[in-house]
Amino acid sequence: MFYNICKYFKCAIPNRCLEECKKAGFTHAGVEMGAECFCDKSAPPDDRKVPESHCNMTCPGDPKAKCGGNHALSIYQTGIKPIPHHTVSMNATGLK
C-alpha cells in the first residue's frame, strides 16, 4: 500500500518525491499521473507490475522525465534499507 505524500509536498519531479519519501523513512517512492507522489516501505508485488510504457506522463518540473501514468506509478528506491521483520513468541514463562 503506497501512501500519498503529495497532499503535503509539491512533487513535480521524481527527485523531489524521492527526497520527501526518504525524509519520511520510506524505502520506495512512486510518481503517478504526472505529479502525484506515493511512498511505501516495500516494492509493489510482481503481479501488480506493468510495462514501463504505461508510465508515459511527463513531469511538470522536468519534461524530460516520466512521472508515471494513469493508474501506473514509476517506482524508485530511496536508498533506505528495509528493517527486517522479527517474530517473537511468548510462552507461559516468557520469551522463547
Tell me if 11 sits within 8 A of 5, measured CB to CB: yes
| pLDDT tens digits, 38-87 | 899 988 889 999 999 999 998 887 888 888 999 899 999 999 987 766 56
**What is this structure's pTM?**
0.74
Q: What Rg do the C-alpha atoms of the chain give, in angstroms?
A: 17
Contacts of 81 (CB under 8 A, 6+ apart): 27
Select, from the ranges 2-11, 16-25, 83-92, the one with the highest average predicted confidence (pLDDT).
Answer: 16-25
- Please list the helix, strand and coil fractions of the chain in percent, rounded to the nearest 5, in that order: 15, 30, 50
